[in-house]
Each structure stands twice: as structure tokens, then as C-alpha cells.
Amino acid sequence: MSKIKPVGEKIILKRLEAEEVTKGGIVLPESAKEKPKEGRVIELGEGRLLDNGTRVPFTVAKDDRVIFSSYAGTEVKVDGEEYLILSEDEILAIVK
């Protein structure tokens, strides 16, 4: 993805698709779906800049599947695709 590049300690995620059918087999309409709190890391910035000029490496990597907090980041749309830009501290876990 070369259309959008995060700066500094920012990360770009692509949200995973919301579940369309509940465990009980009920099909959910688009309006009833909860936005997923999981996504895949698409791009990473350069890392957090320390006072001494060095950068802290990310603990997540490109293509990691992650869980993030409910109201994390900023949603953006680029060429019809929706992305989420957030800081690494808004990521709660990596799904293995």
C-alpha cells in the first residue's frame, strides 16, 4: 500500500470484517453489526523518537492481527478503502 504512509509512531490498520451471522445462526443486518476491534497491520511509521534522537522499534509488525481499544485511532478513507490510523499504545494485543 503506497497511497498512505504513517509518520512517527503511527500505525495503519485495516479492520477485519464484522461477523454477519451470530453463533445462534441469526443473520445480522449491516446496521446491527458492531465494528470489530480487530485489524491487520498494513503499514508502520518510523517508530517513537526519543530525546536522544534514536527511534524505539515497534512491538507489532506488518501483517500482524491485533486487538485495539474501542475508540482507538482515526478512521480515514483512501481510494474507497477504509483504514484506521492509531498509535502503538492503543493496541491491546497481538492475536497469534
pLDDT tens digit sequence for 17-38? 755 555 666 665 555 445 668 9
Domain ranges (residues) in the chain: 10-95
DSSP the chain: --S----TTEEEEEEPPPPSB-TTSPBPPGGGPPPPSEEEEEEE-S-EEPTTS-EEPPSS-TT-EEEE-TT-SEEEEETTEEEEEEEGGGEEEEE-
**Is domain 10-95 classified as CATH 2.30.33.40?**
yes
pLDDT tens column, 39-76 = 999 999 999 989 999 999 999 999 999 999 888 899 99
The yes-or-no verdict on residue 96 having pLDDT over 60 is yes
For the whole model, what pTM was predicted? 0.77
